[in-house]
Amino acid sequence: MAMFGFLGMTYEFKWSVLWAQPHLTWLIDGLLTTLRLASISWCIAVLLGIVFGAMRTVPFRPVRAIATVYVEFFRNVPLLVWLFFWYFGAPEIFPAIIRQWFIHHGIEFWSAVAAVSVYHGARLAEVIRAGIQAIPKTQLEAGLSSGLSVVETYRLIIIPIALRLIVPPATNESLNLLKNTSLAMTIGVAELTFAARQIETYTAKAVEALTSAALIYLALCLSISSAMNWIEGKFAIPGLIARRTRAEH
Amino acid sequence: MKRSGIVLLVALLVLSFTGMALAQCPSTLEKIKNSGVFTIGVRNGSPPFSFINKQNERAGFANDLAELVHKALEKKLGKQIKLEMKETTPTTRIPLLTSMSVDLITETMTDTRPRRDSVDFSLTFFLTGADFIVKKGTPIHGTKDIGGKRIATQQGSTNERVLREKYPQAQLVTFPDQAAAFMALQQGKVDAYCNDAIQLWGLKYKSATPDQWEVVGDWISYEPYGMAMRKNDTDFRAVVNNALMEAIEGGEYFKLYEKWFGPKSDVPYPMSQAFKTFLLYQVVPK
């Protein structure tokens, strides 16, 4: 809606604010912070997702229960609330020495990493669980009867196949993770959205500043999805998952 | 979808865009007269200028001044006008104004030259400067002590800009709102919070333990507050300015100042003689 008003009033576009200094430095620093935040969080989230997603499928009730509690607890609270919790709440529980260390080593950033990775870990766990459960039970039984232990069967057979199955939904989750890092600005992390808003408040050029952020997110997301497409094709097991022929062709 | 369908859709979209753009061209006075509503931009948490008080009502010095403008508007337009208040923040207030969502920003907005590129300002109705609020006993007494210290600021504020440009040795942690910044200070996650002195005094007095906090510093910036409105809207601006001039001349302004900043108020902040003279000189002859 705001756009219409802008057009009605005499809004003058001035795209040069984006590459005028120090604005360009802010954008680049913001982009780097976003990438750092997203990649660290993604690695932790994938680890959490694999561990808890697998735990949700094992034939042993207490293990499943632990994983279910984790998933339901962390995915059912909004990420913004988790960010406030990890920044304003959680550090207060730690001893003063550890807290002081974090305060002087980027507590805002690490709180954001904790919030994003634990939240998306829970969501990825569900994706991975779905992938594992899509594999016929006979695979597990065959693994066990060939002399492998449960852990070995999971590590050597179930997880490798499940990871291939879940590439499309996992891509979706990864893109969400990247975009959700923008919420970290609420706890003082100077990421990409923060940089765009910073330019906006210095220059009052909202359209230019926010468009630049939007285009950068778009470019990042498109490159992630094409990379994931490539991975999907590269690691496909011939004959196992026949997804190479697309429906629209 | 068929191609002609898409063309039709695009044409409709473009039409509605231009239609809305054209429909929103009238001056602020016409807009208020036609809609019967005067919308001001206020704040939830900037005591004593604009905030939500313990009775859960919007209140504050700037809100009271806006009421005076509201009365002047009703007199000027000769009809009853509804006064609506909308929450704004330093980052949203200029877009809300230019998009016609609010007609007048009445809170703690500093009049600056870059901002005058985007909006017009009324007379200056308050004068302050940026200081720091710290926990009592913190070895920060002013800008000479902030090197390497973690200083909280509010995104989009003028003090953030001054700190970033003039004191790069300080480590800035920038929050979108005052509540988050003060919370971080209370938890010891930052060493000081920098904002306009009067707002820091407001925070100190509104906090659960006022004695625990100290406002230090010697005004690293000069912050004249004005009411902001859309650019090049001379008639509306005259109504706002005349209302303020009449309030200063007729003494109503000083009564309100006494209510919010007098010795019996929550935030005692005596008016300097220089500011009083400055206020009176802003009133042009009748």
Q: Is pLDDT above 50 for A4?
A: no
Range ranked top by mean pLDDT from A34-48, A164-178, B147-161:
A34-48
Is 1.10.1740.10 the CATH classification of the domain at A17-234?
no
pLDDT at A6: 44
Contact B187 A201 (CB under 8 A): no
CA distance B5 to chain A (A): 22
End-to-end CA distance of chain B: 66
The CATH homologous superfamily for domain B27-128+223-282 is Periplasmic binding protein-like II (3.40.190.10)
pLDDT band at B95 (very low <50, low <70, confident <90, very high): confident
A and B: number of Cβ contacts within 8 A = 84
Contact B99 A5 (CB under 8 A): yes
Compute the average pLDDT of residues A208-236: 92
pLDDT band at B22 (very low <50, low <70, confident <90, very high): very low
Closest chain B residue to the Cα of A93, Cα to Cα: B187
Q: Is pLDDT above 50 for B1?
A: no
In the three-class reduction of DSSP (H, G, I as helix; E, B as strand; rest coil), residue A171 is classed as helix
Q: Is pLDDT above 70 for B255?
A: yes
Contact A188 B180 (CB under 8 A): yes
For the question of an ipTM over 0.85, the answer is no
All CATH 3.40.190.10 domain ranges of chain B, comma separated, are: 27-128+223-282, 130-216
Q: Which residue has the tokens 């313990």?
A: B54
pLDDT in tens, A103-139: 889 999 999 999 999 999 999 999 999 998 988 889 8
DSSP chain B: --HHHHHHHHHHHHHHHHHHHHHT-S-HHHHHHHH-EEEEEE-SEETTTEEE-TTS-EE-HHHHHHHHHHHHHHHHHTS--EEEEEE--TTTHHHHHHTTS-SEE-SSPBP-TTGGGTEEEEEEEEEE-EEEEEETT-S--SGGG-TT-EEEEETT-HHHHHHHHH-TTSEEEEESSHHHHHHHHHTTSSSEEEEEHHHHHHHHHHSS-GGGEEEE---SS-EEEEEEEETT-HHHHHHHHHHHHHHHHHSHHHHHHHHHHSTTSSS--PPPHHHHHHHHHHS---
φ/ψ (deg, to 5) at A139: -60, -45
Q: How far is CA B210 from CA A148, A202, B266, in A?
A: 67, 33, 11
Closest chain A residue to the Cα of B159, Cα to Cα: A202
CA distance A4 to chain B (A): 5
Round to whole Å and give the CA distance between B98 and B117.
12
CA distance A98 to chain B (A): 12
Contact B155 A187 (CB under 8 A): no
Mutate to test the interface with A, among B189, B194, B230 (most CBs of A within 10 A): B189
CA angle B71, B73, B74 (to 5 degrees): 65
Chain A contacts to B (CB-CB under 8 A): 1-11, 87-88, 91-92, 99, 103, 107-108, 185-188, 190, 194, 197-198, 200-204, 206
* Contact list, B112 vs chain A (CB under 8 Å): none
Round to whole Å and give the CA distance between B12 and B28.
28
pLDDT band at B178 (very low <50, low <70, confident <90, very high): confident
CA distance B275 to chain A (A): 28
Query: Considering only the top CATH level, what class is B130-216?
Result: alpha beta
Among candidates A4, A200, A202 on the partner chain, residue whose Cβ is nearest the Cβ of B24: A4
pLDDT at A249: 44
pLDDT at B103: 95
In chain A, domain spans: 17-234
